Amino acid sequence: MSSDKKIRFGVVGVGHLGKHHMRLLEGLDCELVGVADPSEEARKFAEDTHQVQTYADYRDLKGKVDAVTVVVPTAMHREVGCFFLNEGIDVLVEKPIARTAADGQAIVDAASANDCILAVGHVERFNPALRAVEELGKSARYIESHRLAPFSFRSTDIGVVLDLMIHDLDLVLAFVKSPIKSVEAFGGAVFTPAEDMASAIIKFENGAVAHLTANRVALKPMRKMRVFSKEGYVSLDFQSAQGMLVKKAPGWDFEKLDMKSLDRAEMGDLWKFVFDGLLQVENLQLDTGNPLLAELEEFVNCVKNRTRPTVPGEEGVAAVAAAERVLSVIAENRWE
The confidence score (pLDDT) of residue 128 equals 76
Burial profile 153-192: b = 16 or more Cβ within 10 angstroms, e = fewer: eebbebbbbbbbbbbbbbbbbbbbeeebeebebbbbeeeb
The confidence score (pLDDT) of residue 283 equals 83
Cα 169 to Cα 262: distance, rounded to the nearest angstrom? 44
CATH code of 7-122+291-311, in short, is 3.40.50.720
The confidence score (pLDDT) of residue 83 equals 98
Cα 11 to Cα 8: distance, rounded to the nearest angstrom? 11
Residue 14, classed as helix, strand or coil, is: coil
Cα 136 to Cα 204: distance, rounded to the nearest angstrom? 17
Which residues, 6+ apart, have CB-to-CB distance to 2 below 8 Å? none
Contact 25, 35 (CB under 8 A): no
Residue 301 banded pLDDT, cuts 50, 70, 90: very high
Could you state, in order of their start, the residue ranges of all structural domains in the chain?
Answer: 7-122+291-311, 244-285
pLDDT at residue 270 greater than cutoff 80: no
Average confidence (pLDDT) over 263-267: 53
| Across 30-39, 80-89, 113-122, 155-164, least confident range | 155-164
Q: How far is Cα of residue 282 from the mean position of the Cα atoms in its chain?
A: 24
pLDDT one-digit tens code per residue, 221-242:
999 999 998 888 889 887 777 8
- Sheet of 279-285: strand order equals 180-188, 197-204, 209-215, 140-148, 222-229, 232-237, 242-248, 279-285
The confidence score (pLDDT) of residue 137 equals 63
| Model pTM score | 0.87
Phi, psi of 189 (to 5 degrees): -85, 145
pLDDT one-digit tens code per residue, 279-288:
778 887 766 6
Residue 92 banded pLDDT, cuts 50, 70, 90: very high
Cα 196 to Cα 216: distance, rounded to the nearest angstrom? 6
Residue 321 banded pLDDT, cuts 50, 70, 90: very high
